Amino acid sequence: MLETAGRHWAAKQVDRIYAISNKLTLENSWDLASDDLVDFAIQKGWCRSAEDFSFARCYSDFLYTKFSSSEHRRARAMTLLNVLQGRLGVADFFTILRDHGDASPDSFYPDRGLIQSHVCNHAGWGPVRISQTTGSLVSRLMPVFSTHFITGTAAPCTSLFKPIWVDTPMVLDKLPAGEAFDSKSLFWEHEMLHRLVLKDYQKSMQFITPRRDKLEAALLKQALSAKKSDLTERQSVARQAFEKARVLDNECRFALKSLPVAKSKGFLYSHAWRKWNKAAGLPDS
């Protein structure tokens, strides 16, 4: 596990579980570090001596770390990892990255809360809730044939994890993602669904979740079976996964358009998303 601050860094070998979340976590114990890590902090007056040194305390930006709610998200991730320690599988990491905290799935609403911050983070409004998960990755690392699962899209709770390998990047070549809406972009095409879901999150997710989970389980099984296959087959598996994900997104989007919105959102939340949609040039969903 490597943490960096400018040209300074420290690394520690993880033998069980670990989590980070937009913050430095190493204190005064590491396995490798940049040569002047401690001396530089002493010269800057961030600590008095090597005995007083803490990488996280000396090199962190206090305001960024505090207001990003990073400690809250990290603690939640560690809790979930500890519960499943010793029997974690790939699908468990999908679930953890979709976590919205202690609330039950049917009681979570992304429009609620002034400083809401979860592992699966949703933007809201105001100067604090302007950040959101924009992409998720789970890697099953092996000596050879490591398999990676990516969303390539925002909000893992509305997204599908799709398999790729290091030698199959061509699958993504024709799926660009820029700052403005692009109908050829995987990210922006999914945003049409994601931002539609936000209008009535609970009712939308009741429709999406079983369909997402069924397809994802099939793709996971297929990917792990194909991990040692030749390049041609793995390219085919990856390409089909992305095609099926886009089909699912479109099916869900058209189905959700016919569902009535159960409740109106607060003015500030709705205003924020209208502003972001306009800035991105997103078509009306």
Which one-letter amino acid corresponds to residue 248? L
Measured CA to CA, the distance from residue 59 to residue 72 in angstroms comes to 19
- Name which of 71, 18, 9, 77 is nearest 37 in CA terms: 9
pLDDT of the residue at 253: 95
Residue with tokens 């099926």: 244
214-to-22, 160, 218, 241, 272 alpha-carbon distances in Å: 32, 10, 7, 13, 33
Predicted confidence (pLDDT) per residue in 255-265, tens digit: 998 888 766 67
pLDDT of the residue at 51: 94
Tell me the H-state helices in 150-282.
Answer: 186-197, 201-225, 231-256, 267-280
Which one-letter amino acid corresponds to residue 170? M
Q: What is the CA radius of gyration of the chain?
A: 21
Report, as ranges of residue numbers, the positions in the chain whose pLDDT lies below 70: 67, 171-174, 262-264, 285
- Name which of 132, 112, 124, 109 is nearest 272 in CA terms: 124
pLDDT of the residue at 264: 65
Predicted confidence (pLDDT) per residue in 136-161, tens digit: 999 999 988 899 999 999 999 999 99
